[in-house]
């Protein structure tokens, strides 16, 4: 009789099945033994030494061969070659210019996921995709150490550790796609495949358009395989001081297929230094000509302070071409603390605007001649205490095009 209890299954049958499994199979396991372990480790060690030695010999013998090719006497033997038995050391690794491709393919052992800076810089790599509209390539790219031009994939930071917790080392790199002083960044884990080729395991994390816009240069791999990355809400540059950027350490773990965040905050709070204004406007509609032949247009402008800072000196700037315009009696202009004009521009300096507030004003604008302008824009900005335009983020929404009719 099956023993289901209240578990919904026959617990006794399961126990019995596993006991039988264990009993039957136990005698069939044939451990190769600890000596086989030593044999394997010794062989791998020997291969490692041979690899190092081969490189050492190439480094030493290359100039000798060069000399011979020139038909001159060989220079006196130096260094390891003079002993005939160079001592391999961890420092006898391929040099930055030698062996851009991995050297492990001839190795019968486990591919080495510890990839040196030089090897990473020397290889053609397939990176996880960059954001759309990014100028950087991600297929068969070569990383650079110094920025030369937009579109370069700059190697920013390197770390090593067993990220997939399989007992072998992998390589984690922060890569920056250079776009002026900004550009996206991503942290990528690299390993080698069985042929020794460097392959990207996957992306640990990357910057976004909007927080997190920045990844700082430090990346770490903890002994338990967790990859720690320091993220910033706003990318430095373009007037934004890195000191104003909010920082968060976040941790990511490999789940067998991809990296998932397992530690740290998942979002940034509003940055107290962040100014974010936005503006929209209706069409600029002109009426019939008056006795003097001038026409009056009307436009309603909606201003938003989206950020957490008070806009102390907000300003609207109308640009009307050709001909500009003149302010004329309407609620909008009355709301201004100061109205001024300069060429085709009309300025309205407004009183301070609190965070997260909206203001809607209608402006009447008189043509300077008899014909209305054919095109126009309105910009919304705030001045800093020096009279310059304060840094605004997401400044794509600080200007609206006016459809004139």
Partner 1 sequence: MTTELNLDALPPVTPADDVGTGGSAGIDFDAFYHAHFRPMTLQLCAYTGDLGQAQDLVQEAFCRAFARWDRVVRYDDPVAWVRRVAWNLATSRWRRLRTAQTYLRRQREEHVPGPTPDRVALTAALALLPPQHRRAVVLHYLADMAVAEIARQEGVAEGTVKSWLHRGRVALAAELADRKERNDG
User: 358: which strand partners?
Assistant: 304
Shorter beta-carbon distance to partner 1: residue 33 or 84: 33
Shortest distance, CB of residue 60 to partner 1, whole angstroms?
17
> Pairing state of beta strands 214-221 and 227-232?
antiparallel
Shorter beta-carbon distance to partner 1: residue 13 or 62: 13
Shortest distance, CB of residue 19 to partner 1, whole angstroms?
9
Shortest distance, CB of residue 104 to partner 1, whole angstroms?
6
Q: How many CB atoms lie within 10 A of CB 43?
A: 12
The pair of structure tokens assigned to 61 is: 């013998």
Shorter beta-carbon distance to partner 1: residue 153 or 171: 171
Contacting positions for partner 1 (CB under 8 A):
2, 7-11, 13-15, 17-18, 20-22, 24-26, 28-45, 47-49, 51-52, 88-90, 92-93, 103-104, 107-114, 164-169, 191, 193-194, 201, 253, 255-256, 262
CA distances from 175 to 94, 114, 144, 172, 203 (A): 22, 17, 9, 10, 11
Shorter beta-carbon distance to partner 1: residue 140 or 165: 165
| Contact assessment for residue 284 and residue 321, using Cβ atoms and an 8 Å cutoff | no
Q: What whole-number distance in Å separates Cα of residue 349 and Cα of residue 303?
A: 13
Q: What whole-number distance in Å separates Cα of residue 99 and Cα of residue 62?
A: 14
CA distances from 61 to 49, 100, 249, 260, 353 (A): 18, 19, 48, 48, 74
Shorter beta-carbon distance to partner 1: residue 8 or 267: 8
Shortest distance, CB of residue 111 to partner 1, whole angstroms?
6
The pair of structure tokens assigned to 49 is: 């030494």
Shortest distance, CB of residue 118 to partner 1, whole angstroms?
14
The pair of structure tokens assigned to 207 is: 């910057």
Helix (H) or strand (E) holding 250: strand 247-254
Q: What whole-number distance in Å separates Cα of residue 398 and Cα of residue 380?
A: 5
User: 348: which strand partners?
Assistant: 316, 339
Q: What whole-number distance in Å separates Cα of residue 404 and Cα of residue 109?
A: 73
Shorter beta-carbon distance to partner 1: residue 41 or 61: 41
Shorter beta-carbon distance to partner 1: residue 7 or 97: 7
Shorter beta-carbon distance to partner 1: residue 152 or 164: 164
Shortest distance, CB of residue 106 to partner 1, whole angstroms?
10
The pair of structure tokens assigned to 148 is: 């030369």
Query: Is the backbone peptide bond immediately before 368 cis, with ω within 30 degrees of 0?
Result: no
Shortest distance, CB of residue 38 to partner 1, whole angstroms?
6
Shortest distance, CB of residue 188 to partner 1, whole angstroms?
15
Shorter beta-carbon distance to partner 1: residue 33 or 180: 33
The closest alpha carbon to 398, from 307, 312, 299, belongs to 307
């Amino acid at each position: 009789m099956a023993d289901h209890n209240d578990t919904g299954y026959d617990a006794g049958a399961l126990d019995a099945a596993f006991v039988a499994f264990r009993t039957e199979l136990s005698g069939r396991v044939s451990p190769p033994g600890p000596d086989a372990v030593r044999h394997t480790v010794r062989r791998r060690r020997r291969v490692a030494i041979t690899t190092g030695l081969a490189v050492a010999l190439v480094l030493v013998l290359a100039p000798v061969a060069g000399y011979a090719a020139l038909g001159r006497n060989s220079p006196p033997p130096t260094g390891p070659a003079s002993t005939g038995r160079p001592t391999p050391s961890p420092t006898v690794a391929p040099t930055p210019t030698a062996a851009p491709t991995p050297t492990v393919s001839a190795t019968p052992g486990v591919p080495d996921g510890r990839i040196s800076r030089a090897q990473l810089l020397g290889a053609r790599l397939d990176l996880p995709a960059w954001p759309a509209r990014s100028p950087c390539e991600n297929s068969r790219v070569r990383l650079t150490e110094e920025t030369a031009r937009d579109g370069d994939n700059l190697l920013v930071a390197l770390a090593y550790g067993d990220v997939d917790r399989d007992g072998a080392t992998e390589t984690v790199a922060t890569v920056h796609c250079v776009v002026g002083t900004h550009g996206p960044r991503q942290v990528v884990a690299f390993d080698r495949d069985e042929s020794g080729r460097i392959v990207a395991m996957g992306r640990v994390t990357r910057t976004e358009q909007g927080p997190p816009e920045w990844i700082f240069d430090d990346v770490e791999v903890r002994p338990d395989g967790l990859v720690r990355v320091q993220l910033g809400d706003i990318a430095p540059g373009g007037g934004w001081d890195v000191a104003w950027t909010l920082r968060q350490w976040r941790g990511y773990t490999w789940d067998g297929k991809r990296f998932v965040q397992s530690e740290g905050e998942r979002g940034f709070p509003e940055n107290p230094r962040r100014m974010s204004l936005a503006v929209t406007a209706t069409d600029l509609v002109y009426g019939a000509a008056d006795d003097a032949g001038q026409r009056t247009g009307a436009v309603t402008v909606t201003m938003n302070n989206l950020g957490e800072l008070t806009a102390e000196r907000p300003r609207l700037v109308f640009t009307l071409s050709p001909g500009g315009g003149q302010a004329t009696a309407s609620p909008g202009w009355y709301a201004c603390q100061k109205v001024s004009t300069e060429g085709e521009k009309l300025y309205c300096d407004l009183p301070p605007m609190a965070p997260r507030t909206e203001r809607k004003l209608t402006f009447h604008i008189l043509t300077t001649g008899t014909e209305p302008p054919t095109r126009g824009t309105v910009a919304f900005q705030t001045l800093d205490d020096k009279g310059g335009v304060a840094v605004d983020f997401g400044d794509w929404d600080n200007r609206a095009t006016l459809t004139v009719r």
